[in-house]
Structure 1
Amino acid sequence: MSNATLSGKRPSSLRGATLPKWFPYLVAAGSVALGLGISAAAGLDSSIQWALIAALLFVLGTYGISARVEGRRQAKDRVATSLVWVAFLLAVIPLASLVWETVKRGVKVLDGYFLTHSMGVVTDTEPGGGIYHALLGTLEQVGLATLISVPVGVLTAIYLVEYGRGKLAKAVTFFVDVMTGIPSIVAGLFILSLWIVILGMGYSGFAGSMALSILMIPVVVRSTEEMLKLVPNELREASLALGVPKWRTILKVVVPTSIGGITTGVMLAIARITGETAPVLLLVWGTNFINSNPFSDPQASLPMYIYLQWANSGGSGAAYDRAWAAALTLIAFIMILNLGARGIARWKAPKTGR
């Protein structure tokens, strides 16, 4: 027997009192109820106001109860966790509300007919019509921008990681960083002045693709650069030790090893430019008819279609419903790209054995 048992005293515990696991849920429920009560008493109609009040009460209530029961040190830890949850909800709730509102309004006219027909001779006030011409234009413009951006971005990243040394590499890195923060309207104005004003070319989908490629290149460069840096140097050294030239080592060892991450970065870059409106508004314009030639005449696109339909709807009517349906289609397209990027990243991820 221990001395504590012989003396009749209970063994001391280094662990103090702890609150049950359901404590945060109870505080959250009480904060929501109290926040609703305060909002009703104060006559606050906005749901955002009572939600902020409930979040503040949740943090304060968590700290007050935890400090009294568990001590200030554990209370600070719980407050940090509470702030993380509050920040998470503040980010997720508006996103979920946006998706829900788009789905609720967009499904009214979104069907097979809407996806396979253009506006044609249908006026904005009349029901009917569709987004086929805009969907075709978006696919062609984004596809051309990808064909321009991916080779330039990937080769630039390979140069920076495998060959880049000295002032030239620093200059390229600096300009890539600058291009990352360029607003889309600036890229559109640059192509407008160079391609249309100076060279005298007309408005077309290709002009919009060049502006989109300016926005896409730095994303591709940065994502590819980070993926190439993750390739172990031992693989490069083993290939070079066998007498393989450096260019062939890059082509056969480095790039295949990082191809999953590179593809993921490219798809995320495509998702980033798909919803751009400013370059399309400046360089492509829009049309209600099908134009499958991106190198000649104005061409429709989904962002431009959404803007024109909403601007001509007056807040209601057939054009208003078509704008929401086109927005839902655009969100679904970008979501598919992101899911595809995640799938490719998981498929190409290095496999570890047991």
Structure 2
Amino acid sequence: MDTAAQRYADRLYGRRKLLNGVALAMSCVAAAFGLLFLAWILWTLVSRGIQGINWSLFTQITPPPMEEGGLMNAFKGSLLMCAMGVLIGTPLGIAAGTWLAEYGNARKLGTVVRFVNDILLSAPSIVLGLFVYTLVVMQLAGGDFSALAGAIALAFIVLPVVVRTTDEMLRLVPAQMREAALSLGVPQWKVIVQVLYRSASAGIVTGILLALARISGETAPLLFTAFGNLYDSNNILKPMASVPVVMYQFAGSPYDNWRTLAWAGALVLTLFVLVVSLGARTLLLRKRISHD
């Protein structure tokens, strides 16, 4: 009896070991498959984009066909609209996330707000751009495209990311810290500003940086709002160039100089996103190490 049970256990163990080996092998193959195509994409981006990296890329504006130029106006426009989008979306996101974490847990409205925020977080960016186009460009501006409308569209992308991050980070702060501060007679708003925000600051800043990395490559919202501009412009109430839109326009053109600029802009944009993402992860890692 014991021998039969032992043989059954051995067969069952052998079967599980075989299935585990097959699953592990398939996982490794899938990971290698994905990394191969990722390396291929990065190699193509670097090999083609490096040809257009020079000083004029950052000092000259977008050129006419078959002439030399750069992406200075597009870089400046992207930085300006991304900065305005973050400045608009971050305070609203932190305020909404704070309300959810500190006041909305015990209310049905908090559940509704979280649900709507999740929908906004997963909404396609082109839908947000179309919404801002209808509301701001067509209704408020009378059909005039502008960098301000582009920044508002980007703010709609920043907002749900900051709300989710702030909500999660504040809820991770131990309840004992709140209770200790409140027991000393500290007002609720001071507890939030001086205790909770300080404890969750690294996570909140990380969320803001990740939102910045996301909006820096958005094309569809800016096509409907900022539209684009081949010249250098500082007027936020007028159309303004941006790197994603210039890439979209130049990548499919028949002119070699425009395609080279599109690849160079893609490389610079990828490096910017990489630096911002690494900075966000480094900041969060340092915060974790300091707590440990």
Partner Cα distance (1:178, 1:311) in 2: 33
**Aligned twin of 1:351:** 290
Out of 46, 59, 63, the residue aligned to residue 116 of structure 1 is 59
**Aligned twin of 2:194:** 252
Q: Is residue 182 of structure 1 aligned with residue 123 of structure 2?
A: yes
**Aligned twin of 1:26:** none
Q: CA deviation at 1:216?
A: 1.5
Q: CA deviation at 1:274?
A: 1.0
Q: CA deviation at 1:111?
A: 1.4
Q: Given residue 172 of structure 1, which amino acid in structure 2 is its aligned partner?
A: V
Q: Secondary structure at the match of 2:239?
A: coil
**Aligned twin of 1:273:** 215
Q: CA deviation at 1:231?
A: 0.8
Deviation sequence 1:266-307 (CA, Å, 0-9, x none) = 1111111111111111111111211122x2211000001111
Q: Is residue 218 of structure 1 aligned with residue 157 of structure 2?
A: no
Q: After superposing the two structures, state which structure 1 stretch, 129-138 or 317-326, moved more.
A: 317-326
Out of 20, 40, 43, the residue aligned to residue 100 of structure 1 is 43
8 Å Cα contact 1:157-1:222 kept in structure 2:
yes
Out of 178, 203, 221, the residue aligned to residue 236 of structure 1 is 178
Q: Secondary structure at the match of 2:290?
A: coil
Q: Is residue 325 of structure 1 aligned with residue 268 of structure 2?
A: no
Q: CA deviation at 1:317?
A: 1.4
How many residues end up aligned between the 2 structures?
280
Overall identity of the aligned pairs, in %:
37
Q: State TM-score, norm by structure 1.
A: 0.75
8 Å Cα contact 1:264-1:341 kept in structure 2:
yes
Q: State TM-score, norm by structure 2.
A: 0.91
Question: Where in structure 2 are there 5+ consecutive unaligned residues?
Answer: 1-9
Structure with higher RCO (Cα < 8 A, 6+ apart)? 2
Q: Secondary structure at the match of 2:52?
A: coil
Partner Cα distance (1:300, 1:281) in 2: 10
8 Å Cα contact 1:117-1:132 kept in structure 2:
yes
Partner Cα distance (1:350, 1:225) in 2: 22
**Aligned twin of 1:76:** 19
Q: CA deviation at 1:80?
A: 2.3
Deviation sequence 1:23-42 (CA, Å, 0-9, x none) = xxxxxxxxxxxxxxxxxxxx
Q: After superposing the two structures, state which structure 1 stretch, 80-89 or 97-106, moved more.
A: 80-89
Q: Given residue 272 of structure 1, which amino acid in structure 2 is its aligned partner?
A: R
User: Computing the radius of gyration over CA atoms, which structure comes out larger, 1 or 2?
Assistant: 1
Partner Cα distance (2:26, 2:194) in 1: 47
8 Å Cα contact 1:188-1:278 kept in structure 2:
yes
8 Å Cα contact 1:306-1:326 kept in structure 2:
yes
**Aligned twin of 1:339:** 278
Q: Given residue 220 of structure 1, which amino acid in structure 2 is its aligned partner?
A: V
Q: CA deviation at 1:350?
A: 4.9
Deviation sequence 1:122-163 (CA, Å, 0-9, x none) = 31233x200110000000000000001111111111100101
Partner Cα distance (1:82, 1:252) in 2: 51
Q: CA deviation at 1:352?
A: 4.9
**Aligned twin of 2:5:** none
Q: CA deviation at 1:237?
A: 1.1
**Aligned twin of 2:134:** 193
Distance 1:157 1:352, change over 3 A: closer
Out of 34, 40, 43, the residue aligned to residue 91 of structure 1 is 34
Partner Cα distance (1:292, 1:100) in 2: 35
Q: CA deviation at 1:222?
A: 1.0
Out of 134, 157, 160, the residue aligned to residue 74 of structure 2 is 134
**Aligned twin of 1:45:** none
**Aligned twin of 2:91:** 151
